[in-house]
Chain A
């Protein structure tokens, strides 16, 4: 048996040599961890983390946006930004996790970094209860990783699996049921009858041998003889036993029935060995008390085995648990999405709002700092960055040239530089070639270096820090801790601890756009495919007058946002659209807006509908299809009615609303509205 396994493993290993080997991407020294070396690596890592001043992390995922319209837009409200991040974290998988503890070595006056690169794969270690049975891949992301020579084979074959806390608890609650009786059932078909008779004879034979011949059964020509491998004589907890192999589940059930019916002093036992495989045994017991004792022991063993199995299945989450228990400062670069992934994969479902998410995550990881926020919030650092991009690699090259270039050209200017050495498996390296970008381990290392350098510029002198002082409580860092970019493009920062959102006052480098007022925005989709943003604006300006539209933003080829100059125009637009569609006469065709409505599939709704659409987990690649699929189309009418009612409330006496039906009110309102619009457009 064992031999066979080795052969299979060997042949597989050999077959692997035929497959495309990802070219070794870097000579940057880091510890690659897969499931084959996970346990020793975890043990070593826990020491490094315990003694670390901070831990940098970085993730590689299978994708960012599940559809083009799920990408981050300027027009997204903060709650929608969070929904988009949530959707991404729920749908995509983590395939690489970089963890890099940094420790200040006061003798060498340098940081020691321990970069670890974990390959992760959401394998289902426990039947059907794994991390998730399905995940999404974004084609462009996969292609991007392939360009940086990501080793997918290693990831899928040797990636470490995991269970979230939620999943683990669920599993622990449903410990395996005892192999309780499945109830006697009548034997209906002939083969079953024959089988039970045969089994009865076999067990009787063995039973009699046990009683007559004692331990000398193995020499007799009992059931163990011949080619019959279905029964193996063995011992179980010092009792003689027969282990059963090669039976179907149905046959096992029949055997179980036979034993219970006909043998007082035999017990049928189903053993879960280390949670890996299940072994059925028929055990000889002396008495009823002995039998109860045996069953109790088996039950305990099975529970233990099952728990062991769960513990093994927790897998990579042990690393996260380690970070949680040590409460070290976690450093990431633009890491809101990373943190959301960590929450959804290792803790539990993501809450529906960003505020709840923040309060939930800081319970687990109390100190998170984002180097991108840090770099942008401080003027001195901004100057150092020479206002260039704060992307990870460019920040690394600018702030830590001495590390990026591997200390090859040291000069006087580097005196103010924080030094960092890398240690892998007790070997310290202070000289290496520039590493491969987009390997999570190296990215985490870069993030950590940037953080250390930024700290030194902020005035934290690592030489003067006492070893007991926790960086997470350093007052120079306090105003940045737990501040993360909800969206980098808009500069919206969320404070995880309070749930407060602030918009970073963007430096002049970002060009100012008209202010976005969500109440003034109409969402429109399903219009004819030849219409572009420019045409949209033109149509609406013709109908509502010049200056009515502040901006048009195209979501994808099927949908767009239109921001009006006044919020009133939103309902005017919706009403006019509805009227034109309802009348569908030649006069409607003359309206400039008609161009948008051609085809009859154009829908429009207030901004709120966008929230609904983003909240749905449904996945359609075109916005219009998505909206259609979740049935937002019905909402148009509703908003429209609300608009009418709103108007009615404003313009008419309340009693009228009670007398007139909604339809009548609409009728009474349409004509003046349309006329008014036509007039204004004439005037302009």
Chain B
């Protein structure tokens, strides 16, 4: 080990250097399963005393193929479907949470970086059986010196709400029934017989046990009589299991216990495949002993819940606080959050937004807040936007991060992105004068100006409008909106084509392609979007292409394999999961054509194939 020591000195030297000179000089508390329970309490306290909560996720990927990524030509629906797919495939490895308060020119932040790993702690194949990794994402994590060993060895696991209920069923741990309501229905004959029998059995067991305690101290005799009585021990207390066949019987047993046996505590034992197998009745010696037992049971239950929920406890804290949440790209982040901690993602975007709002009433998306301040092309990522803001606006925001990193020096720069989010949020608020009028004391009740920025899930590259809107922007840098009706997808034009070349090829080849009437953008190498600036042209083009009455250059191109489809077909592709295979959009279009019973040849030849007009009925077919 001797040769290591000069190295260690180096390390210390570098470390101080980093903390003074690096731009990420703020310490972020790193949380793994080793220090999770302590951090949980801490973060709970921080959440309750702060105004906002910033979150930031480190994923293993978004999408490999270009057309799988959310882009300006997407509607809210297709954007959601793309985000949904990413959330279903990839995994979050780091989840940074930062409760913060904004004062005049000052932000007080408490950043925590949680390392997550979907370890199957309960051996039931949850939270996720497998997950995808995008190589380039892992590589950029490597660049940031991400510690994969820490993540995989000691990452915190979690279960979503729906997984938790499934897990509880499968684990079959006894459940305490503290909240018990007496049923109003009267007893049937069978019930009465059952009640009588159970009452007698419990009474006999209890009395015998009491006698036993009084009369003999011989351990052997005791255990023998216990065998005879059919009792067991629950910890140091005796107990008896009563098998049941229905919920009704459970109810009856609980009623008997409440009515006649004060000193007995019931536990319900679930059956493996759901339902209830038995009721365990525990004998306590006195009122105090009963309270003690109930406390013990409560404690056990809390432990169990914490073990099952894992990191979801933090999400629950955030949700329970009902504080506004700040993030960078809400659609991306919250599809992941929803899938990981609540339930499988619904197929409908409105349903998603609706149920998300009931968990988190206010979500601020920085990409939205900056859309009036930062030009689109500068807002591609958080650091670009930050440097743009820094160069254009002079506002000093002092960050105060009370956390002093003592234990794990050097590692504490992970998850600093969440601090950038806090900082940028404060900066934007000050530029947009959103928080200026308010008294910092009654924080989240009084930001009237800011509310209009909340809960916009449409990715800002798609531009501002509600989810029912059917127009897109196509070019992320342009503000012009184009109805999806005026968009045609073209493919089958061979490789090595550029937008300019294709445009000059198409110009004049058809009436629709007259000069200045259309423009072209490539989705990927294989497929281009044609945008018409006059309504009706798209239909005319597709009509001609499928009719076969072609002439001139267009005819040549069609015969060489050029094909076209409307935006509706694109939407259908996004809705169908099986069309996502294959990296290029042209493949997906090709397959979509075959799936709907139109071979691509028929598409250009026969009369009835205009996907454009029939598409509505086909979508319904898919929705079935």
Contact = CB atoms under 8 A, between A and B. Distances in A.
Interface string A130-148: 1111111111101101100
Which 4 interchain pairs have the tightest Cβ spacing? A18-B410, A152-B148, A19-B147, A133-B64
Contact of A138 (B129, B145, B581): B129
A139 B577 contact: no
A219 to B, nearest CB: 37
Given A14-B10, A19-B411, A152 B129 contact: no
A138 B91 CA distance: 11
B119 interface: yes
A134 B150 CA distance: 22
A15 B273 CA distance: 50
Contacts of B500: 183
Contact of A17 (B7, B117, B131, B153): B7
Interface residues of A, number: 55
Given A68-B125, A136-B131, A18 B139 contact: no
B437 interface: no
Contacts of A130: 135
A681 interface: no
B152 interface: yes
28 contacts: A11-B18, A15-B145, A15-B410, A16-B145, A17-B7, A18-B410, A66-B129, A67-B129, A93-B133, A132-B135, A133-B64, A135-B132, A135-B135, A136-B133, A138-B129, A139-B118, A139-B130, A140-B120, A142-B152, A143-B119, A143-B152, A152-B151, A156-B138, A156-B142, A530-B273, A616-B581, A619-B89, A620-B577
B274 interface: yes
Interface in A123-181: 123-124, 130-140, 142-143, 145-146, 151-153, 155-157
B128 A139 contact: yes
Contact of A124 (B136, B142, B578): B136
B617 interface: no
A629 B120 contact: no
B130 A122 contact: no
A140 B149 CA distance: 15
Nearest to A67: B129
A629 B145 contact: no
B409 A18 contact: yes
A631 interface: yes
A139 B131 contact: yes
A93 B411 CA distance: 28
Interface size class of B (residues with CB under 8 A): 35 or more
Contact of B139 (A63, A123, A616): A123
A152 B133 CA distance: 14
A617 interface: yes
Given A123-B139, A134-B64, A152 B152 contact: yes
A223 B64 CA distance: 44
A673 interface: no
A530 B5 CA distance: 62
Contact of B148 (A67, A143, A153, A618): A153
A65 B130 CA distance: 8
A581 to B, nearest CB: 14
Contact of B577 (A124, A135, A153, A629): A629
B613 interface: no
Contact of B132 (A134, A143, A156): A134
B217 interface: no
B197 interface: no
Given A15-B410, A153-B148, 17 more contacts: A16-B145, A66-B129, A124-B136, A132-B135, A134-B61, A135-B133, A139-B119, A140-B129, A143-B120, A156-B138, A156-B148, A618-B577, A618-B578, A619-B89, A620-B577, A629-B577, A631-B595
B11 interface: yes
A124 B120 contact: no
Interface-central residue, A11, A139, A146, by most chain B CB under 10 Å: A139
Interface string A217-247: 0000000000000000000000000000000
Contacts of A530: 273-274
Contacts of A152: 148-149, 151-152
Contacts of A62: 133
Given A19-B411, A134-B61, A67 B130 contact: yes
